[in-house]
Amino acid sequence: MRTERYFIIFAVLTLAQALINNYFLFSQYVLISLLPLLIVSLPSRYGTPAALGLAFVAGFIVDFVGGGTLGLTSCTLLPLALLRIPLLRLVSGEEIMTDRDDSPVAHQTTPELALTMVLACVLFFGLYVWVDSAGTRPFWFNALRTLFSTGVSGLLCVLLGNFIFGHNR
């Protein structure tokens, strides 16, 4: 995948995430985020520093445009960017990082992509809900919010990842 194509996809999905945050609040139990897919699908030639920079910028844009608490999304997206390469290696093995010009997601099978997205969403939403509640909500509420958000967003990320990056399989 060419670098320009990835960054166009990154910009469009970041703005789509900001619109989702503004206009599609389905329930207090369900948060929808496409950002874990954006971070995990970053081409492997971009190392951890580039992933951290893009995670911070994307999180800040989503919070700023989406009307959220500034820094909340960045704060919870940075650990995912830090752990994206170990996460991909855990699910798909060492060979997933051999093609440095293409997204690692493009070389995963659908079950591998689903497992990667579930793990990424659990990390992202677990931190997001924990930081967002700041100890003011009960554990059962936070656990349900993390579980439902992971299920919905994980499914959306898998479907979108197969649609965008599935041409190489």
Residue 1, pLDDT > 70, answer no
User: 8 is written with which tokens?
Assistant: 């166009």
With 0-12 CB in 10 A as exposed, 13-18 as middle and 19+ as buried, what is 167?
Answer: exposed
Instruction: Determine the Cα–Cα distance for residues 164 and 48; give it in Å rounded to an integer.
Output: 23
Residue 113 and residue 91 in contact, taking contact as beta carbons nearer than 8 Å: no
Sorted by where each starts, the structural domains of the chain and their CATH numbers stand as 3-168 (1.10.1760)
pLDDT, tens digit, for every residue of 90-133?
998 887 777 766 788 888 889 999 999 999 999 999 999 999 98
SS3 152: helix
- Give pTM, 2 decimals: 0.89
**Helix (H) or strand (E) segment spanning residue 32:** none
Average of per-residue pLDDT values in the chain: 89
pLDDT, tens digit, for every residue of 46-104?
889 999 999 999 999 999 988 778 889 999 999 999 999 999 999 988 877 777 667 88
Residue 107 and residue 97 in contact, taking contact as beta carbons nearer than 8 Å: no
